[in-house]
Structure 1
């Protein structure tokens, strides 16, 4: 008889007290929950402990990739499910994960479809669904070092899609969402600048227009109604911020101000 694989759910968090209870409830069936807190001041750690999570603390921030690596290092079990505090595992997804855990261990990794919330609507198009992310995997794999848009380093592993969605409360509050987008754009630009990437004025506007058309037309954002049009503008704005921030860093460096 095969022994069921055990699962560690791993999260990184900061000031997530409002989101955390529902998130942790959706994974309460896991064998272990690990939460790495980055200096929360709103009771995040205490809430996590009340829900049975093992809580660790890190006061230094080296980017999302390395933070996920550190969080995973505290996990005890062979299989990892990496989620965020604004995500929830649906019952159908739970059943799919439990079926995987009943199988013999392998080097297979598993992708999950996310349903992303934008201004009150779970998007079905616009590039926001199925928005597959590789989140269930053997602990022999780890995330890369990217400061933002980090991803799992799977090498040549077989990727198998799971049934069931991961609900992602991407944009519940528009102002908060915009601030996060700006922070991501700034971190992206700094990382690219450090890698020696360059950007001209024409590229800024080309990428911006491309992001709008890709979201609205190529990814059928218009089928998501008003939210689809608004998301196309938001994606264009985010792209504009990324490339303009990179251009500004390049310009300051050439003029000796960095």
Structure 2
């Protein structure tokens, strides 16, 4: 294990991730100081797998959104730095060395971004706006935290802090099959609408125009066509998600006005 002058925790929020969790934990096992896992009510073998790698496994099943759940998980972290992972992600050896170098660099007022490379339906997606995919995942525990957002939560980076981009990639094994994509995005669509209901207006025209722009952006502007059939399918699926979001918001408002 590489010696560090600062301590490092890995934190995850999970639910029913038995099919993903072990490769994720294997990628950080032995070189981080603690692993924090906050479960929101798994009914599969997630907890059994988690306990093979850490004794810091907690359950908070009163779900209040992704942002709040990450804040809760961070409250259990004792280390100087926290590295956030999702259960379907794995740290590569090059990224590991970049992370260890970063936490020992003694840089102040700094947050660190990692480049995520996602695999969808059996193929790594290198265009379509999916890659490069820089996300803030590493920072001093005492200096930052996640937003309150129900979905699409993000790290609240202090204005005083610089952003450093780490070498290596974070492997992201996202959807294998179409039903996995629809199950996950349906959850996100609801949370997106919940967060904006009564605050944001919508219409059928907005639903169509936003969906069309999403397709053009992903498939043409972000060169999704270079990802082959996968790029086409992902652009169509993403456009459908955008249409459904705005249509759902419009229908909610219509139902409310009719009641």
Q: Same fold (TM over 0.5)?
A: yes
Q: Where does residue 164 of structure 1 map in the other structure? A: 168
Q: Could you say which residue in structure 2 is the equivalent of 1:15?
A: 16
The structure 1 segments of at least 4 consecutive aligned residues displaced by more than 2 Å after TM superposition are none
Q: How does 1:1-258 map to 2 (within 5 A)?
A: 4-28=5-29, 29-104=31-106, 106-139=108-141, 140-156=143-159, 157-194=161-198, 196-256=199-259
Q: Secondary structure at the match of 1:153?
A: coil
CA deviations over 1:71-107 (Å, ceiling 9, x no partner)? 0100001101011000000111001001012221522
Q: State the SS of the aligned residue for 1:33.
A: strand
Can you list the C-alpha shifts for 1:239-258, whole angstroms capped at 9, x where unaligned? 011111111111122223xx
Q: Distance in 2 between matches of 1:168 and 1:6?
A: 25
For normalisation by structure 2, the TM-score amounts to 0.95
The separation in 2 between residues aligned to 1:211 and 1:105, in whole angstroms, is 38
Task: Name structure 2 gaps, 5 residues minimum.
Answer: none
Q: Aligned-pair distance for 1:53?
A: 4.7
* 1:111–1:162 Cα contact (<8 Å) kept: yes
TM-score, scaled to structure 1:
0.95
Can you list the C-alpha shifts for 1:23-66, whole angstroms capped at 9, x where unaligned? 00001121100000111111211211111251011110000000
Structure-1 separation of matches of 2:207 and 2:152: 20
Instruction: Could you tell me which runs of 5 or more consecutive residues in structure 1 were left unpaired when the two chains were aligned.
Output: none
Distance 1:222 1:142 in 2: 37
Alpha-carbon separation, structure 1, partners of 2:108 and 2:217: 37
Contact 2:4 2:100 in 1 (8 A): no
Alpha-carbon distance in 2 for matches of 1:48, 1:59: 16
Do 1:182 and 1:241's aligned partners in 2 also have CA atoms closer than 8 Å? no
Alpha-carbon distance in 2 for matches of 1:105, 1:155: 15
Structure 1 residue 155 displacement after superposition: 2.7
Quote the RMSD (CA, aligned, Å): 1.3
